[in-house]
Amino acid sequence: MSNIQVSLSKTKAEMESVAITDNIRLAEDDQSVIIIDQVRLPNELVYKSIDNLEDAYQAIKKLEVRGAPAIGIFAGYAIYMLSKKDEEKDFASFYESFIRNKDYLNASRPTAVNLSWALKRMDKIVNDNQDKPVKEIVKLLKQEAIAIHNEDIEMCLKICENGLSLLKDGDGVLTHCNAGPLATSFGTAQGPFLLAKARGMNIHVYADETRPLLQGARLTSYELQKAGVDVTLICDNMASIVMKNGWINACFVGCDRIAANGDTANKIGTSGVAILAKHYGIPVYSLGPSSTIDMNCPDGDHIHIELRDPDEIKNMWYAKPMALPEVKCYNPSFDVTDHELLTGIVTEKGIVYPPFDVNLKKLFNE
Ligand code: MRU
């Protein structure tokens, strides 16, 4: 495993000069959580205020807030915001409502571990402080939600540094889906490209459009273009030709859940990228915070893959149906990349190399 020591305040200032930094925040009165509505990008940059359970659930479900770490950060603030509205209750009814809110939010999307991870952390705060007045518990929930966010900032900055250490000026990198500042705080898989830009390095990024919901086209190319990164958008089925052309030195992808053996769930299509890269001898790195590693999940077969509405494939295009209504569709939102296809897993704690089952364990024991 390798890691590099960095001054995070310098990295933070560099990233702030190129990255979107306000994708999720708590309103000043703590009565709502404000997000950038990612569904409306790239055509409109709209901030949406979420102030109730159903809207919070739908924001995650409909991908208004998306990306594994961002869902965790949002869930922390959302459960705090909902708890704040209940702070006059006695403990028993406060906790009953807390559990109901938590379980409902947790059911919004199954694959990214960060959602349940953040909610479990918030639940632990309530459990560990049952003897305190409810208002006091609510204050502690706020602190925990902010801590989850701040830790993500720190993890992202370290991942950006660790990821950038794998690149040199002039490299071409292929990426899939969106794992930039919109999906996290400062970005995981796409964070190093932004840091490279801030440091005057030239990295050529090829962004898969990422069917069916186009996170690559709508979000990744938006974030990178706005920052002045040299980004070229391609359709997913063009990944092979750009690799064959010799334009790709590495693939950087994000992750929604990493199993203990290194099998990695990420946006549907990621495993195809990794299989192609193996054919062309190109290294593939999965970049994500250690909060995305689920040591309780032995391998990819145990990762629950979200199935989404067939309409995303059939009816969300050109305002006209793209297939006959009776045509069957299979719309898994994620796939699992076999650990054998990964060159390394880039975390805030360092870059983990095979054997992943051994080295991921070490990561948590060091
Ligand atoms: O369905 P999405 O858009 O939430 O899927 C997101 C991804 O697959 C990202 O690559 C992953 O969450 C990593 S985000 C840092």
Pocket probe for ligand 1: among 114, 255, 306, the residue whose CB has the most ligand atoms within 8 Å is 255
Q: Is 184 in contact with 70 (CB distance < 8 Å)?
A: yes
Nearest-atom number in ligand 1 for the CA of 176 is 10
Nearest-atom number in ligand 1 for the CA of 213 is 3
- Report whether residue 162 contacts ligand 1, using a CB cutoff of 6 Å: no
pLDDT at 175: 98
**What is the C-alpha separation between 70 and 183, in angstroms, rounded?**
5
**Dist. CA 128 → ligand 1 center (Å):** 32
DSSP H or E stretch at residue 251: strand 250-253
- Report whether residue 266 contacts ligand 1, using a CB cutoff of 6 Å: yes
**Dist. CA 69 → ligand 1 center (Å):** 9
pLDDT at 366: 75
Q: Give me the active site residues, please.
A: 256
**For the chain, which domains are there?**
8-156 (1.20.120.420), 166-365 (3.40.50.10470)
pLDDT in 10s for each residue of the chain, 366 residues: 444 555 899 999 999 999 999 999 999 999 999 999 999 999 999 999 999 999 999 999 999 999 999 999 999 999 999 999 999 999 999 999 999 999 999 999 999 899 999 999 999 999 999 999 999 999 999 999 999 999 999 999 999 999 999 999 999 999 999 999 999 999 999 999 999 999 999 999 999 999 999 999 999 999 999 999 999 999 999 999 999 999 999 999 999 999 999 999 999 999 999 999 999 999 999 999 998 999 999 999 999 999 999 999 998 766 788 899 999 999 999 999 999 999 999 999 999 999 999 999 999 987
- Report whether residue 190 contacts ligand 1, using a CB cutoff of 6 Å: no
pLDDT at 6: 56
Sequence-distant (6+) residues with CB within 8 A of 299 are 259, 260, 261, 263
pLDDT at 316: 76
Strands 230-234 and 204-208: parallel
**What is the C-alpha separation between 187 and 223, in angstroms, rounded?**
10
